[in-house]
């Protein structure tokens, strides 16, 4: 009987002692050496927050006060706690059996945890990543590399992880939260070596991404340079903006930068906004819809709505303030609605392609444009389907979006998804289309330059090669076109009775049409002087020749005859009046040439005294404009024509700020024996 009582007493003692020992699982590490060990297997887990749970003596036995066991290789959302957000704890008891020669210090490697956490070793906080509420600061796991932390002396202890998961946004899965993969414990050298291997593997898996980004950067630079050389070609600007967005996305998740959630959402949304809007305007030009005012205006409206919805979405969930507020459900709902709006609009390329086909532009689209249209539809459709199917997936439990976004194949460790392939095909198609477009633009530019060269050659033939020398007159001229080909023209001819006939005019327009108009006028003048030297009759005949040939423009012209005795006869067709001795002559004006068949050109008569100078000019002088916007004007013109020659007047207007062709003629009376030409 005594023996039985003794056995019962021993059993009760052992039972009581056992009840005092925590029943959480223990990971036994039998010698670390210079290696690492995975902290796999069951961890003790509890929802909620209590700082007492960092105490190594705390009883975290499974089933005791809500404690349970989870593994650290998957999120808690996939292990029975779907859509849980807030704070939760993981605990693991570790027994380290050191062997002779083992390192005295150990370290910890955390591959990734959503979203921020604190690490406790034997009750002491040894590290943290981000910042837990009430003022949370957190990061997206895929944007940062694995983190390593020093633990301290290699001894037995309890590892505790205090983890906070931010409220879920519209496209996040309910199966998220907490560790993404197993942590590792080891010597400092072993953990450092493991981290290097993980970083190298991360780089190796992104070779294609980096190569693609290099192509985007090169195309962006070349497109920007080409646009700066020709700013009227907006297609090149949209191409450069389209290529900027992937570079921003590379910084977001491809460079292992520690970027806070708020900053990431801010520029991530803007990058997608730039990418999609620039693609729309690229398609607008490539599909020949840019000249359609209706669709050009509608595209701008859609772009503004898209940008506004993304901006509001960024403001809704782009900061940390909403994550800790009681209204986080409201903001999550707002995020879902706004995301649905801009996700729907992201399929707008399909609309543009359909419109281009409906407007029967298809038969006029070449192969490069068709390729862009096809792959833009494909890429937009894939992106829209994946994003749409992922929206609210924690409620719908649809997995099709994740399956469509899963890797299709791998090349040297680089995963290729359906979206990756479609984006690559679209990039190649756009590059080909822009290349073909720039070649065509260069061909047209060369043809235009050749037209300008031909027009300039025609104009040079029509301008007087030499000013005639007339006894009793000193004649000067200066012509400074504003571009390759000007619209000004002039002729100076000697009359039969020893006088001078001067013709000066300005044809609206540039290029070959203006040059051909000038050739018609000059030919008319040279023919008419054989029959008449009356300024009024010459202008009347020129007006008849110009009827129906102005093509919506007009021509101003002034004809002046200076006789040997100083008599002046002037007729004007809407041109600037000449200056005599610095004073503007009061003329009777007629209509510009070619506007009305019944137009008349009355003659005005004046007398030029010896040593006086007559100055004829085009509006390029008085309309010269400096950077501030001020005009050279009539006052400056009147002041400078008193004593300056043609070259000095033209140079003064040009230095002030040439805005149009400048032509200046001067005729001065001199003694009969001193006639000269300049």
Mean pLDDT across the chain: 82
Q: How far apart are CA 504 and CA 530, in angstroms?
A: 18
**Which one is predicted more confidently, 480 or 267?**
480
CA 599 and chain centroid, separation: 54
Say which DSSP state 507 is in: E
Prediction pTM value: 0.61
Q: Is the pLDDT confidence value at 255 over 90?
A: no
Q: How far apart are CA 142 and CA 149, in angstroms?
A: 19
Q: Is the pLDDT confidence value at 12 over 60?
A: no
Structure tokens at 145: 């590399």
**Which one is predicted more confidently, 473 or 245?**
473
270-327 pLDDT, tens digit per residue, is 888 888 888 889 888 878 888 888 998 999 999 999 989 888 887 776 665 556 655 5
Query: Which range has highest mean pLDDT (165-169, 358-362, 475-479, 480-484)?
Result: 475-479
514-559 pLDDT, tens digit per residue, is 777 887 888 888 888 888 999 999 999 999 888 877 666 789 999 9
pLDDT above 70 coverage of the chain, percent: 85
Buried b (16+ CB within 10 A) or exposed e, 273-310: bbbbbbbbbbbbbbbebbebeebeebbeebbeebbebb
Beta bridge partners of 663: 479
Helix (H) or strand (E) holding 261, with range, is: helix 261-286
Q: How far apart are CA 278 and CA 242, in angstroms?
A: 5
Q: How far apart are CA 297 and CA 555, in angstroms?
A: 37
Buried b (16+ CB within 10 A) or exposed e, 632-659: beeebbeebbeebbbebbbbbbbebbbb
Beta bridge partners of 91: 44, 160
- Rounded to the nearest 10 degrees, how much is the dihedral formed by the CA atoms of 360, 363, 365, 368? 130
- Rounded to the nearest 10 degrees, how much is the dihedral formed by the CA atoms of 68, 73, 77, 79? -50
Which sign does the torsion angle of CA 267, 271, 273, 278 carry?
positive
Say which DSSP state 319 is in: S
Q: How far apart are CA 273 and CA 361, in angstroms?
A: 28
**Which one is predicted more confidently, 170 or 659?**
659
* Among 31, 373, 369, residue whose Cα is nearest residue 187: 31
Helix (H) or strand (E) holding 329, with range, is: helix 328-345
What is the pLDDT, as a whole number, of residue 394?
A: 66
Q: What's the pLDDT band for 672 if we cut at 50, 70, 90?
A: low
Among 88-102, 104-118, 298-312, 363-377, the least confident range = 363-377
398-450 pLDDT, tens digit per residue, is 777 778 878 888 888 888 888 888 888 888 887 887 788 778 877 877 877 77
Q: Please count the other Cβ atoms lying within 10 Å of the Cβ belonging to residue 4.
A: 8
Q: What's the pLDDT band for 592 if we cut at 50, 70, 90?
A: very high
What is the pLDDT, as a whole number, of residue 10?
A: 40
Which of left, alpha, beta for 273 (phi over 0: left; psi -120 to 50: alpha)?
alpha
Q: 156: Cβ–Cβ under 8 A, 6 or more apart, which residues?
A: 94, 95, 96
Structure tokens at 473: 């007159």
Q: What's the pLDDT band for 226 if we cut at 50, 70, 90?
A: confident
């Amino acid at each position: 009987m005594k023996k039985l009582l003794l056995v019962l007493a021993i059993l009760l003692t052992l039972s009581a002692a056992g009840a005092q020992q925590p029943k959480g699982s223990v990971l036994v590490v039998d010698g670390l050496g210079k290696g690492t060990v995975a902290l796999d297997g069951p961890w003790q887990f509890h929802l909620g927050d209590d700082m007492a749970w960092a105490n190594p003596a705390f009883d975290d036995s499974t089933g005791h006060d809500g404690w349970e066991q989870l593994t650290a290789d998957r999120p808690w959302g996939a292990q029975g706690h779907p859509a849980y957000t807030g704070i939760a704890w993981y605990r693991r008891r570790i027994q380290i059996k050191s062997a002779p020669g083992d390192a005295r210090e150990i370290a910890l490697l955390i591959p990734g945890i959503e979203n921020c956490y604190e690490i406790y070793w034997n009750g002491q906080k040894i590290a943290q990543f981000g910042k837990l509420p009430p003022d949370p600061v957190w990061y997206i796991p895929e944007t940062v590399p694995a983190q390593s932390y020093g633990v301290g002396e290699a001894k037995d202890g309890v590892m505790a992880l205090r983890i906070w998961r931010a409220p879920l946004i519209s496209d996040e899965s309910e199966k998220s939260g907490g560790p993404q993969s197993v942590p590792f414990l080891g010597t400092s050298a072993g953990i450092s070596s493991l981290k290097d291997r993980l970083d190298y593997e991360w780089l190796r898996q992104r070779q294609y991404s980096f190569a693609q980004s290099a192509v985007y950067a090169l195309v962006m630079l070349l497109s920007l340079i080409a646009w700066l050389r020709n700013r009227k070609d907006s297609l090149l600007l949209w191409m450069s903006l389209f290529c900027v967005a992937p570079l921003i996305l590379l910084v977001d998740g491809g460079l292992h930068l520690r970027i806070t959630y708020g900053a990431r959402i801010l520029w991530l949304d803007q990058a997608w906004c730039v990418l999609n809007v620039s693609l729309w305007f690229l398609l607008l030009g490539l599909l020949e819809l840019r000249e359609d005012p209706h669709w050009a205006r509608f595209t701008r409206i859609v772009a503004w709505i898209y940008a506004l919805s993304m901006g509001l979405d960024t403001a809704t969930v782009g900061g940390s303030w909403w994550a800790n507020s009681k209204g986080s459900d409201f903001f999550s709902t707002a995020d879902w609605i706004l995301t649905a709006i801009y996700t729907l609009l992201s399929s707008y390329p399909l609309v543009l392609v359909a419109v281009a086909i409906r407007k029967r532009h298809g038969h006029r689209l070449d192969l490069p444009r068709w390729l862009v249209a096809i792959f833009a539809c494909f890429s937009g459709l894939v992106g829209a389907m994946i994003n749409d199917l992922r929206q609210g997936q924690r409620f719908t439990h649809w997995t099709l979006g994740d399956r469509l976004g899963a890797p299709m194949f791998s090349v040297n460790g680089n995963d290729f998804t359906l979206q990756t392939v479609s984006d690559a095909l679209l990039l190649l198609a756009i590059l080909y289309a822009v290349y073909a477009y720039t070649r065509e633009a260069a061909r047209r530019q060369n043809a235009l330059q050749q037209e300008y060269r031909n027009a300039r050659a025609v104009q040079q033939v029509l301008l007087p090669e030499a000013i005639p020398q007339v006894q009793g007159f000193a004649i000067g001229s200066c012509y400074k076109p504003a571009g390759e080909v000007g619209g000004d023209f002039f002729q100076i001819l000697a009359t039969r009775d020893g006088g001078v006939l001067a013709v000066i005019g300005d044809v609206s327009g540039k290029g070959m049409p203006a040059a051909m108009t000038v050739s018609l006028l000059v030919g008319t003048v040279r023919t008419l002087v054989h029959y008449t030297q009356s300024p009024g009759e010459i202008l009347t005949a020129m007006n008849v020749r110009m009827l129906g040939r102005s093509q919506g423009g007009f021509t101003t012209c002034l004809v002046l005859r200076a006789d040997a005795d100083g008599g002046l006869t002037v007729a004007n067709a809407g041109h600037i009046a000449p200056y005599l001795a610095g004073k503007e002559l009061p003329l009777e004006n007629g209509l510009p040439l070619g506007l009305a068949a019944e137009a008349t050109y009355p003659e005005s008569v004046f007398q030029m005294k010896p040593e006086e100078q007559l100055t004829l000019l085009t509006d390029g002088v008085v309309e010269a404009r400096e950077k501030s916007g001020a005009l050279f004007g009539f006052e400056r013109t009147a002041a400078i024509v008193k004593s300056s020659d043609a070259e000095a007047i033209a140079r003064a207007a040009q230095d002030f700020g040439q805005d149009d062709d400048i032509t200046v003629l001067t005729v001065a009376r001199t003694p009969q024996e001193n006639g000269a030409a300049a």
